[in-house]
Structure 1
Amino acid sequence: MDKNLYAHHMATLCRRYDEILEQSGFETLNVFSGAPRMQFLDDNYYPFKVNPHFKALVPITDNPHSWVIYQRGQKPKLLFYRPVDFWHYVPPAPQTFWSDFYDIELLSKPADAQAFLSPENAAFIGESEKLQGWSLGEENPELLINRLHWARAYKTPYEVACLREANRIAINGHRAAEQAFRSGASEFEINQAYLGAAGQGENRMPYGNIVALNEHAAILHYTHLSTERLTEPQLKSFLIDAGADCNGYCSDITRTYAYADNEFAELVTAMDEKQLQLVDGLKPGLPYPELHRQCHLSVGELLAQFDIIKTSAESAVESGLTRPFLPHGLGHFLGLQVHDVGGHQTGPDGGTTPPPAEYPFLRTSRTIEENQVFTIEPGLYFIDSLLGELKDSDLAAEVNWNKVDSFRPYGGVRIEDNIVVHATGNENLSRNP
């Protein structure tokens, strides 16, 4: 990663943190990376997941018991945990593109951090369960965290570069996964092909990879990973929703494939066209829920085009007929977390702007602005439980149930890209790596 790009990022970050600390009435911010958690009745730990507020200040995702101490107007101090340990890997002291921007102290024991922490006029962000008796400052002050969450929606060029690289890595995995699918691999084997091509293990993935063959594509968060190989007559469809990591930043990409050249393949192609139209509709000044409503109109058009419903797209949206076929939101903020923070926040000081009542699962109600990053992921599914409710409703007569049954074995289709909103137009990180 370019050092000058990181220098610009740190200058922006320091201005942001200085201002937010002053507004919140604090001089110092103590941010804990976190501590490993032991499995119940066992001597093994769960995979470590870093505090996102820690990796917002320094690109370290895999080192527990570390700290960033940020004081207004001063160079950040990194307390880097480096124990004497012959059981586990001990990371080297940081010497990389970002290390010159921190005063680095090495900790051989977790408790050594106490000598560097000042609770006076300080805020602490993190989990304090393993820090009982420590002087930390005010724990997780709501106003401070609200302001940090609001600011995280606006990405620096360094952050966009990390997201761009995370997409490039994920695209390598997606290409390998498609090849594995077409060769008849099982869901488990497809996932292994993905991880191998991405060069990242399961614990580094931003979320559990969704690798779904056939009707499993109708399960929105399917992560079972069956080891069963399907024979060629059985293979119908493949949906993969998987990302990658770069310096703590996430990608989140979904693709759907038809095994044969058939009507489902035509539906996938048509959804891809609709998805790109929605990407083009992502513009500064537009409330995100308005784009979500346009998404439902697009899905209604597909339902009518493929003779799944007997009414117009407009009528289907108005009556709620599209909702059983698209129960999730169009997309969400993306960054240090897959579902990045602040999507429902009303303003920097907090407050909640809920999504429209008819679309309760929409993760973003903010107005689209420059330098924000979103996923755009329309879908159309054939979910047994939702279709059962629809069949028992007053809208049942508006559905061509024979056509629904012909599509059920394919599960559904979702296409998802990661989009940066620039002043000069959108950058599709997933199509232009």
Structure 2
Amino acid sequence: MTDRLAPLYPQHMATLRERADKALALGGFDHLVIAAGTPPGKFLDDQHYPFVASPHFRHWLPLTDAPGSWIVHTPGRKTRLVFLQPHDYWHVAPEAPNGYWVEHFDITVVRTAAEAVAQLPGAETRRAVIAPECPVVAGAEANNPQAVVDYLHYHRSYKTPYELELMRQASRIGARAHRAAEQAFRDGASELGIHQAYLAAAGAIDAELPYASIVGLNEHGAVLHYTHFDRQPPTTSRSFLIDAGASAAGYASDITRTYAAAGHTEFQALINSVETAQLGFVAKVRTGQSYPELHIHAHHVLANVLREHGLIRMSAESAVASGVTAAFFPHGLGHPIGLQVHDVAGFQQSESGGSIPRPAGHPYLRMTRVLEPGMVVTIEPGLYFIDMLLDELRDKPFAGDIDWNKVNVFRPYGGIRIEDDVMCTDGAPENLTRDAFALL
């Protein structure tokens, strides 16, 4: 993996330096100071939550375990890394910086947080400090200037070749772990057992995943963010929905698959139809495609899937306009992905800020921009049988156009979601997820 990353990193670093220079000029600053951050403490306790380095910090270098460290970029000078390596016999101290990226930094190793802050441009200078507001580090308070942050966030949407290679790696780890989870499901494991098989195959602990895994058997697939993990397997195995990702040097993958247990052919046929639709949406991840329009198109296609499987009798147009599809598909088609699972700037109008509103009637869509080369988005349509939402349809005038007997057949299966991470290019899209599964 290092052999592929090393030749790509210099260009990535040059791109980040150029963006930082422009952002600082826009905001009227001389220095960009980026905190890795520190782990937040637990309330009324002497323990901390797991450390997650700031995405701004991880953007510059593949250093995910460096609490209390800082990056300092000053135009015209070599970028600095102030690396905190405390003398500490209670914990494992972070390893000294090493690898293909270190030659691009002027590295200073310090032993305390106070020493680290002393290495930063002083408060009297014009510095843009990108850091979490809490906890505040004395002497290096965050200001997170909007002009700087807007510019950096907007351009973070366009992944460098180095970033894309890390995202491919995250997809390969995730695909391997998904295969292990599917096998655990086929072997009759509980939700917790499936999740543990996933972690083992990913070579990770929960805190190292980009988000909390969703592992739902049977009806639990209808809970969009189900993270309960039953300890005992169900008496009857019907279906399995898993939404779980992996990380590579801080870059995320986000993958969802749905499986039917052996013999449940009608639900498997519905899965197949959703997957066919999903691949059609993936094919439309092309330069100039409006993401909101693709989302609305997905509603019309899924309405036809509902018709084909006998769940509704109305036209696709009526199903979308009346909100029927929103009851079966109540979330957005997807979101930007990269350093964060739900990456920044999905609504941003330009590098100067602003916001592109969601289309009316689609409050949960997480992206409204037009697709451009270098953007990576998820494509994750779904069909669910959520009691609360379906009950709301029963009182509507069009309730007679829904086959409630057929709905009841599918309720015990929970729902279906199929999700891939897809890069927009100058031509055909690159499906990072499918490519990763193909390599297995």
TM-score by length of 1: 0.97
Structure 1 counterpart SS, 2:421: strand
Partner of 1:390: 393
Question: Quick check: 343-352 or 38-47, which moved more?
Answer: 38-47
Q: 1 CA distance for matches of 2:134 and 2:344? A: 23
Q: 1:198 aligns to what?
A: 202
Q: Within the alignment, does 1:422 sit opposite 2:425 as a pair?
A: yes
**Structure 1 residue 424: Cα displacement:** 2.6
State whether structure 2 residue 182 is matched by structure 1 residue 178.
yes
Corresponding position of 1:140: 144
CA contact (8 A) 2:157 2:345 kept: yes
- Which residue is equivalent to 1:165? 169
- Shift of the alpha carbon at 1:132? 5.3
Work out which of the residue numbers 280, 288, 301 in structure 2 matches 1:285. 288
Q: Distance in 1 between matches of 2:234 and 2:404?
A: 27
Distance in 1 between the 2:237 and 2:414 partners?
A: 12
Which residue is equivalent to 2:245?
Answer: 243
| Other-structure match for 2:217 | 213
Counterpart of 1:259? 261
Q: CA deviation at 1:173?
A: 0.4
Rounded to whole Å, the distance in 2 between the matches of 1:387 and 1:395 is 12
Matching residue of 2:155: 151
1:4 CA displacement: 1.3
**Aligned residues with identical type, % of pairs:** 48
2:278 maps to what in 1? 275
Task: Name the structure 1 match of 2:409.
Answer: 406
Question: Quick check: 2:222–2:414 contact (8 Å CA) kept in 1?
Answer: yes
Q: Is the 8 A contact 2:34 2:56 kept in 1?
A: yes
Number of paired residues? 430
Tell me, yes or no, if structure 1 residue 187 matches structure 2 residue 199. Answer: no
Aligned to 2:101: 98
Q: RMSD value over aligned CA atoms?
A: 1.2
Residue 134 of structure 1 aligns with an amino acid whose one-letter code is: G
**Per-residue deviation at 1:318?**
2.4
Whole-angstrom distance in 2 between the partners of 1:131 and 1:383 = 42
Equivalent residue letter for 1:67: W
Q: Distance in 1 between matches of 2:140 and 2:311?
A: 62
Name the aligned partner's letter for residue 421 of structure 1.
C
Query: 1:289 offset after TM fit, Å?
Result: 0.5
The yes-or-no answer on 1:380 pairing with 2:383 is yes
Task: Please point out which of 363, 388, 393 is paired with 1:360.
Answer: 363
Q: 1:315 Cα deviation (Å)? A: 2.1
CA shift at 1:123, angstroms? 0.7
Q: Which residue of 1 aligns with 2:354?
A: 351
Q: Post-superposition, which runs of at least 4 consecutive aligned residues in structure 1 deviate over 6 A?
A: none
After superposition, the C-alpha distances for 1:247-275 in whole angstroms (9 at most, x for unaligned) are 11000000000002310000111111110
Name the CA distance, whole Å, in 2 between partners of 1:133 and 1:359: 43
Which residue type is aligned with residue 127 of structure 2? A
Q: Aligned-pair distance for 1:230?
A: 2.3
- CA–CA distance in structure 2, aligned partners of residues 132 and 9 of structure 1: 29
Instruction: Provide the C-alpha distance between the structure 2 equivalents of 1:106 and 1:178, rounded to a whole number of angstroms.
Output: 45
- Cα distance in 2 for residues equivalent to 1:135 and 1:417: 40
Query: In the TM superposition, what is the alpha-carbon distance from 1:128 to its structure 2 partner?
Result: 4.3
Matches within 5 A, 1:304-383: 304-383=307-386
Instruction: Choose 2-11 or 206-215, whichever is displaced more.
Output: 2-11
- Give the distance between the partners of 1:129 and 1:304, measured in 2 at CA: 51
Cα deviation, 1:293-322, whole Å, max 9, x if unaligned, reads: 111011101100100001122221122211
Deviation at 1:283, TM superposition (A): 1.3
Residues 388-397 or 216-225, more deviating: 388-397
Structure 2 Cα separation of the partners of residues 210 and 36 of structure 1: 24
Bigger shift: residues 248-257 or 342-351:
342-351
In structure 1, how many angstroms separate the alpha carbons of the residues matched to 2:208 and 2:118? 32
Structure 1 residues 427 and 135: alpha-carbon distance in aligned structure 2, compared to 1, 3 A threshold: closer
> Gaps spanning 5+ residues in structure 1: where?
none
Q: Check conservation: 2:185, 2:194, Cα contact below 8 A.
A: yes
Q: Which amino acid aligns with 2:196?
A: Q
The worse-fitting range, judged by mean Cα deviation, of 99-108 and 314-323 is: 314-323
Residue in structure 2 matched with residue 226 of structure 1 by the alignment: 230
Which residue identity lines up with residue 254 of structure 2 in the other structure?
D
Residue by residue over 1:66-125, the C-alpha shift from the partner in whole angstroms, topping out at 9 and shown as x without a partner, is 100111122211111101111101122111121111111111001101221113111101
* Alignment partner of 1:109 is 2:112: yes
Alignment of 1:36-115 (within 5 A): 36-115=39-118
Q: What's the CA shift for 1:12?
A: 1.3
Q: Which deviates more from structure 2 when the two are superposed, residues 235-244 or residues 311-320? A: 311-320
Greater shift, 81-90 or 15-24, is seen at 15-24
Partners of 2:400 and 2:306 in 1: CA distance: 14
Q: 8 Å contact 2:26–2:147 — kept in the other structure?
A: no
Give TM-score, length-normalised by structure 2: 0.96
CA, structure 1 residues 91+265, in 2 after alignment: closer, same or farther (shift >3 Å)? same
Query: Aligned in 2, Cα 1:348/1:134: closer, same or farther, shift over 3 Å?
Result: same
Q: Of the candidates 116, 122, 130, which is equivalent to residue 125 of structure 1?
A: 130
Q: 1:373 Cα shift?
A: 0.3
The code of the aligned residue for 1:148 comes to L
Given residue 227 of structure 1, which amino acid in structure 2 is its aligned partner? Answer: R
Contact residue 65 and residue 94 of structure 2 kept, 8 A: no
8 A Cα contact 2:285 2:423, kept in partner: no
Q: Distance in 2 between matches of 1:331 and 1:274?
A: 14
Once residues 122 and 40 of structure 1 are traced to their aligned partners in structure 2, the CA distance between those partners, rounded to angstroms, is: 32
